[in-house]
């Protein structure tokens, strides 16, 4: 259960960082969703290039990259 809570917290932080980096305003829920989805997207995209995020900092960095990709895609599709 504690791991799930940490995942949500880190997802929110990653989404918040990506939102600031991409100049995108959003709610806390949106930031959490972006961070969690960004973790999946970032892992896949960076995995294609052989890059892995390990540990707290690496996982957060991968999530931020993925969340930035999701924000960019949202802007292109919207």
H-helix or E-strand spanning residue 38: helix 28-48
Backbone angles phi, psi at 63, to 5 degrees: -65, -40
Q: Tell me the per-residue pLDDT of 25-47, one tens digit each, with 9 for 90 and over.
A: 778 788 888 888 988 998 899 99
pLDDT at 18: 92
| pTM score of the predicted model | 0.87
Q: What is the CA radius of gyration of the chain?
A: 12
- Any idea which of 13-17, 23-27, 38-42, 74-78 has the lowest mean pLDDT? 23-27
């Amino acid at each position: 259960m504690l791991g799930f809570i940490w995942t949500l917290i880190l997802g929110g932080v990653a989404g918040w960082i990506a939102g600031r980096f991409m100049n995108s305003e959003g709610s806390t829920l949106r930031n959490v969703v972006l961070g969690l989805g960004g973790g999946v997207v970032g892992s896949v995209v960076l995995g294609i290039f052989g890059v892995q995020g390990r540990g707290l900092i690496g996982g957060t960095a991968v999530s931020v990259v993925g969340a930035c990709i999701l924000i960019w895609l949202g802007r292109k599709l919207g």
